[in-house]
Structures are given as C-alpha cells and as structure tokens.
Amino acid sequence: MSQFSQLLLNWYQINQRSLPWRNDKNPYYIWISEIMLQQTQVVTVIPYFLNFIETFPTIADLAQSNENKLMKAWEGLGYYSRSRNLRVAANQIVTEFDGEMPATRNELLALKGIGPYTASAIASIAFNEVTPAIDGNAFRVFSRVMTEASDIGEAKSRPIFENIGNQLISESNPGDFNQAIMDLGSQICTPKAPECEICPVNSVCLAFKSKTQLNFPKKAKKIKKKDIYLIADLVMNDENQLLFEQRADVGVLKNMWLFPMREVDKAEYLAIEKLAVGQVKHIFTHLNWHILLVPELSFRIAEANEQTRKWLSLKALNDYPIPTVQYKLINKIPKSFFK
C-alpha cells in the first residue's frame, strides 16, 4: 500500500462522514446516492435518498415505477433525465442481469446514465474492485499531491489521473480509499482554501511542500471570443488587379496582405450587408471576424499609391504572405467582377 493510501485510510477510519448509503454495501443504494450526488450537495441529497429507497426499495420496484411516481420522488433535485436513466438502467439490470446489480466496472459502464466515475465508485465500494473513482475531488487531490499539471478540462488528461489513482489506491480497501478521497476533497483539500496544516497526507503532498497547492488543478479558462465586424473593400483597376493592403506590424495577421479593411460596429455592418457580394466568417483563438466583401468603386487612386498598398493580380499573390481568410474573400468575388 502506498504511504499516501495508508495515511488517508487511517484518517478516514476516524473521520468518515456518517451517511445513510454507507451503512452497508448495498450496490443499489450506492448507485442511487452517487447519481443524486451529481451536481447536488450531500445535505440536500440525504432526505431525497431516504425517501427514494422507501418508495422504490429494490431495483425491480424502480424498473416497474411509473413516470409520475418517479418524477415526484425526484422533484426538486433537477436534471430529471438522471431519474429517467435510473429507470432505464433498472430495466436493463432486470432483463440482462437477472435483477442483480452487475459487479464489475465494465458491466456497470454498459448501464444507462453510469459513467466512468460512478462505475468505479459502485464497483469499488460494493464489490471491492481496485479501480480509482475520478471526479472533481479526485482530480483536485491527485493533481496537488503529485503536482500533476495536465489540464483537467481535457479528455486526454483523464487516463493520466487514472494512472495516478491506480498507483495510489489501496488494493485491500479500494472502496474506502475512493470514499476517503471524496471526503478529503470536500472537507480539507477544498478548491479555494485547502487546510493543509491539518491534512492527513500533507507529509507526502508535493504541492504542500512547494507551497503551490492553489496552482492545482490546472484548468484552462474558456475564452470568450470577441466579435469583430469588418468591411473589406473590393477594388479593381483596369488591368484586373486587385488592391491589397499590408497589415500593421502588430496584432492579428501582422504584416500580411489582405484587401483594405475597416472595422465597423454591428449596426453599420448590418446596414451595409445588402451591398456586399460576399460574406466571410473567420475564427481566431480570441476573435471572430465577420467580414463583408463590398465592391468599392470610388476608391481614390491616391490612396492606392500608399506604401502599404499594392495592386496585385491573383497570379502575383504567390510572392506575398496571404492569410487563409483572404483566400476565403477571393473565393467570394463574383466572376462577373473581372473584366
């Protein structure tokens, strides 16, 4: 057993929360409680759990439940699809597993509404399968203990944390290990104010040693993209050359050559829309460009002679850095526009 696991289980023996679904290892009770606990606090779940198992004492009772009775038992918990999935899964258990809750993580995963975390929680707590249950608490505790910097928001990080869980988990008592992680994560290793001084695993926690606990877990912030509205001038001279403009030496697409563009507000953009011969949307990491391609017949030649502007034929474009968005605009030019 890892030292981490030993320390954690010693602490759990004394400090575990007394919860009604922990009174025995009934897999049905563990299943119902785990589904209820998704997005809902423990204190809220307790009365719902007690009422639910009184209303539907067995998996067979749940499988035969009618919609109204089921909804009534779930009323106030929200995410009603969870309760419908419970009934579908209960029917699967009756027809495919003789009414007995399947005992392995893999079989549990085949049931409606049971994902990797819930399958591991049931399999380890009720059937002693050695499988780490990775939820938000486990991501947080494992990332801190091991200073693991993989982004927990990315699907590819899950196997990394499962691997850590497999290294740390107690082989003799995987169910208590998983429940202890849940308790540690919700009571001591909390997201914003971990109580490291009283934490039972602080002697083996790398984040505590390096005072970096608040840097973990890593999760990239979702960037809200800004919408930018642009008018691209489509200007042609008598030699079928198009007017291009080099962008400034800073910012997006710096130094590249595009049609002359100017930013407008959304209202002006919508007002000009009917004059456009084409429309392009281009997505950058932080920005969405909405561009209208508008033939500009009154463009002054003087402006075209500025150093950052050039008349270019389509063949000449190979000699200039031209971004993808510009090619999208070129594809929107009507054939009739060329002389």
Please provide the size of the chain in residues: 339
3-class DSSP state of 106: helix
- Tell the smallest beta-carbon distance from residue 45 to ligand SF4 (Å): 24
Burial class (CB in 10 A: 0-12, 13-18, 19+), 234: buried
Q: Name which position in 132, 165, 174, 194 contacts ligand SF4 (CB under 6 A).
A: 194
- Tell the smallest beta-carbon distance from residue 177 to ligand SF4 (Å): 14
Residues in contact with ligand SF4, shown as a per-residue x/- string from 94 to 133 under the rule CB under 6 A: ----------------------------------------
144 lies in the site for ligand SF4, by CB under 6 A: yes
Strand order in the sheet with 287-295: 261-264, 226-234, 287-295, 278-283
The one-letter code for the residue type at 2 is S
The conformational region for residue 323 under phi > 0 = left, psi -120 to 50 = alpha, else beta, is beta
Q: Would you say 197 or 319 has its CB closer to ligand SF4?
A: 197
Q: Would you say 144 or 282 has its CB closer to ligand SF4?
A: 144
Burial class (CB in 10 A: 0-12, 13-18, 19+), 94: middle
Cβ(322)–Cβ(331) below 8 Å: no
* Interface positions, 171-190, toward ligand SF4 (CB under 6 A): 188-189
Supply the angle between the helices 116-127 and 27-37 in degrees, to the nearest 10: 150
Which of the ranges 128-136, 192-200, 261-269, 301-309 carries the binding residues for ligand SF4, by CB under 6 A? 192-200
- Tell the smallest beta-carbon distance from residue 170 to ligand SF4 (Å): 16
139 lies in the site for ligand SF4, by CB under 6 A: no
- Tell the smallest beta-carbon distance from residue 198 to ligand SF4 (Å): 8
202 lies in the site for ligand SF4, by CB under 6 A: yes
149 lies in the site for ligand SF4, by CB under 6 A: no
196 lies in the site for ligand SF4, by CB under 6 A: yes
Closest Cα to residue 330, out of 317, 311, 339? 317
- Tell the smallest beta-carbon distance from residue 163 to ligand SF4 (Å): 18
The two beta strands, 309-312 and 257-258, are unpaired
Q: Would you say 189 or 235 has its CB closer to ligand SF4?
A: 189
Residue in 34, 129, 162, 245 annotated catalytic: 34
Cβ(236)–Cβ(298) below 8 Å: no
234 lies in the site for ligand SF4, by CB under 6 A: no
Size of site (CB under 6 A) for ligand SF4: 15
207 lies in the site for ligand SF4, by CB under 6 A: yes
Q: Name which position in 145, 168, 232, 276 contacts ligand SF4 (CB under 6 A).
A: 145
Supply the angle between the helices 174-187 and 116-127 in degrees, to the nearest 10: 120
DSSP, res 305: T
Residue 154 among the catalytic residues = no
Terminal-to-terminal C-alpha distance of the chain: 80
Cβ(267)–Cβ(258) below 8 Å: no
- Tell the smallest beta-carbon distance from residue 141 to ligand SF4 (Å): 5
205 lies in the site for ligand SF4, by CB under 6 A: yes
Give the largest Cα separation in the chain, rounded: 88
Which residues contact ligand SF4 by CB under 6 A?
141, 144-145, 188-189, 194-196, 199, 201-202, 205, 207-208, 213
Q: Indicate which residues carry an active-site annotation.
A: 34
